[in-house]
A and B are shown apart, each in its own frame.
Chain A
């Protein structure tokens, strides 16, 4: 075993959230080490191929159970940049009603802060990483903030052709907001609309963490150690402080990294698993888990997914970005649907490739043989898609638990049990019916919906809140039980709204990291 020189901060993970903390703290003069389970990616590693893009996703670290098993590996990341290396860079904000659902509707959980607390950080992230969009159009649905630094990205026919359908259903669409350059920005080029965003954008037009906070963090001296698998958070004998982490390096040799402060910035399976695997006699249920909430409230988005085949000779569906060109919060109201509570966000439409989960072939999983060949040929120029993300309420029974099976280092693996409730399914079913009507009104010659409801995005597992009785951490991610043990990222979400999580992850991480830097002497001492 090797014990490394003590540092100020050790961060578990090197994704979107980790990169913000590393950047802010390194700029504040702190010695920062990031421990990343996978490789350290560079732009030249990113290959435009759905097959090769799978390297950016994790190999299943968890057993999946329940009625609606999570599509975990597809959503998770592996390597520096985390899942934001293969994300679609779709950057919707949560709305004010997402932050106080328990108080406002008696459903779900409240966040420990309000939209107004986060809004300035949304605006700053837009400037920091480069976001293209139309803030004026968004102000129809949210409090007005600063304009985005770049105008919206280009639209293509495969997105524009849906607008007639949305209009017919009374849904106002706006140009989408994406972390992709529509113009040159801070020395990074504009997008060339090749539709390979999710395989890792090697041009730098898409704001993956390397292009923004992670790059800055490393310039300021933050160290990233790839192939470092963290197995436990270490505590002092009294159990009132963490002292660092134990990890295994690429040679599977045990290492200890001591630190004044530990930040868990991994994904939905690993943050709670690490806390549970770090149990001691002072913390027999795991760290920060006196109330038994570590691992609970894991959520996903349903996706009402409607495909349409159009008669036009070429809808240019091989061009564009993998995120949407247009979107709408018009149906976001949580009580807008009969007998089903929760929000939805409509959006259209992605650039398509023949293969992979979101590809042309998978849109008709029932077809095979010559029928599949014929469909792929037609779909490669005439297929398009609309989708509505649907909210799932936090449910304590959707949870991660340790199991008897051990990983390569001898530590218990985890299982995640996940099932949608009747609200999530009700919202998804009604959105699906609306989507089919949109397709018909848009003039699709054939249209169909994907069933059953998929699981898109992941959130929760170490929910934050105002009270130590009903949450794991406070609004900055500081655990209620151990002051120098912090959590960051999507596992803190008490609710998920119906939007992609990364913009909110960046904004709340920036807010928390600056709070930590400003109060370092009291928090880390």
Chain B
């Protein structure tokens, strides 16, 4: 069998989907689509979503529209054994929501303490400086998981949702070459 034909065979393999809840119904969407359609979050509250999206965008421009908050929120709903977050393989003990609540809460407390404003309300330069200090564990009075680990995981989430997808890889001009396409082009 030629390589091309074999790849085509594998592309016909098992496809699934990410199931988002929209108006009480399960709808199969990519996180990018879920973000665009304003799908309601199930674990993260509005403040946490705002912080996560602002952090994601600071860490990697494009992460907000790629649906970082929808992706993370969706993965916090599923059982730990089905979870696809980097937290799973970075030895975070489940439930993973505990980590995100603590991390995003820590960012807000630190932002309020340093600037008297929410992280999402900081200027671009202030957000950049905040993340740079988070990365280097230089935030005074930090309350939450170790700051470099928060940086590490949220940055991974941003990269996953922006460049770990079919669209993301192909946007770099390199072929995705899937044996089996991820569910809903993930």
Interface-lining segment among A25-33, A191-199, A428-436, A439-447 = A191-199
**What B residues does A54 contact at CB under 8 A?**
83-86, 88-89
**CB of A67, distance to nearest CB on chain B (Å):** 15
Find chain A residues with CB under 8 A from B86 CB: 54, 356
Residue A51 CB within 8 A of the other chain = yes
B22 at interface by CB-CB < 8 Å:
no
Interface string of A34-73 (1 = CB under 8 A from B): 0000110000111111111011010110011000010111
Q: Does A376 reach chain B (CB closer than 8 Å)?
A: yes
User: Is there contact, CB below 8 Å, between A52 and B182?
Assistant: yes
Interfacial chain A residues near B104, Cβ < 8 Å: none
Is B133 part of the contact surface with A, judged by Cβ < 8 Å? Answer: no
Name the B residues within 8 Å of A457 (CB-CB). Answer: none
Interface centre among A46, A59, A195 (most CB of B within 10 A): A59
Would A353 and B10 be within 8 Å (CB), given that A51-B164, A368-B60 are in contact?
Answer: no
Please determine whether B159 and A195 come into contact, CB atoms closer than 8 angstroms.
no
Stretch at the interface among B34-42, B107-115, B166-174: B166-174
Residue of chain B at shortest CB distance from A69: B91
Cβ of B25 under 8 Å from chain A:
no
Q: How far is the CA of A381 from the CA of B62 in the complex (A)?
A: 21
Contact of A73 among B6, B91, B151, B163 (CB under 8 A): B91
List residues 183-209 of chain A with CB under 8 A from any CB of chain B.
189, 192, 194-196, 201-203
Query: Which B residues are CB-close (under 8 A) to A38?
Result: 81
Q: Do A60 and B92 touch across chains, with their CB atoms under 8 A apart?
A: yes
Chain A: residues with Cβ within 8 Å of the partner, total of 52
Binding site for B on A (CB under 8 A): 38-39, 44-52, 54-55, 57, 59-60, 63-64, 69, 71-74, 78, 189, 192, 194-196, 201-203, 318, 353-357, 359, 361-362, 365-366, 368-370, 372-373, 376-377, 380-381
Query: CB within 8 A of A369: which of B61, B90, B178?
Result: B61
Task: Give the CA-CA distance A365 to B131 in the complex, in Å.
Answer: 13
Contacts of B131 in A (CB 8 A): 368-369
CA distance A201 to B180 in the complex (A): 10
Among residues of A, the one whose C-beta sits closest to the C-beta of B174 is A318
Decide: A52 and B163 in contact? CB cutoff 8 A.
Answer: no
Interface centre among A49, A370, A373 (most CB of B within 10 A): A49
Which B residues from 137 to 181 make CB contacts under 8 A with A? 151-152, 155-156, 159-160, 163-165, 168-169, 172-181
Known: A194-B178, A369-B128. 11 other contacts (CB 8 A): A38-B81, A48-B179, A73-B90, A189-B1, A194-B179, A354-B163, A357-B89, A362-B159, A369-B60, A372-B59, A380-B172
**Contact residues of B between 92 and 144, Cβ < 8 Å to A:** 92-94, 128, 131-132, 135
B60 partner residues in chain A, CB cutoff 8 A:
368-369, 372-373
Give the residue name and chain of the B residue nearest to A355 (CB).
B164
Shortest CB-to-CB span from B160 to chain A, Å, is: 5
> Are the CB atoms of A368 and B181 closer together than 8 Å?
no
B14 CB–A CB distance under 8 Å: yes
- Please measure, in the bound complex, the distance between the C-alpha atom of A73 and the C-alpha atom of B169, giving whole angstroms: 25
Q: Which of A195, A353, A361, A373 contacts B61 (CB 8 A)?
A: A373
The contact of B89 among A57, A201, A373, by CB within 8 Å, is: A57
Q: When the two chains form their complex, are residues B59 and A78 in contact, meaning their CB atoms are under 8 A apart? A: no
Type the 1/0 row for B1-28, where 1 means its CB is closer than 8 Å to any CB of A: 1010011001001100000000000000
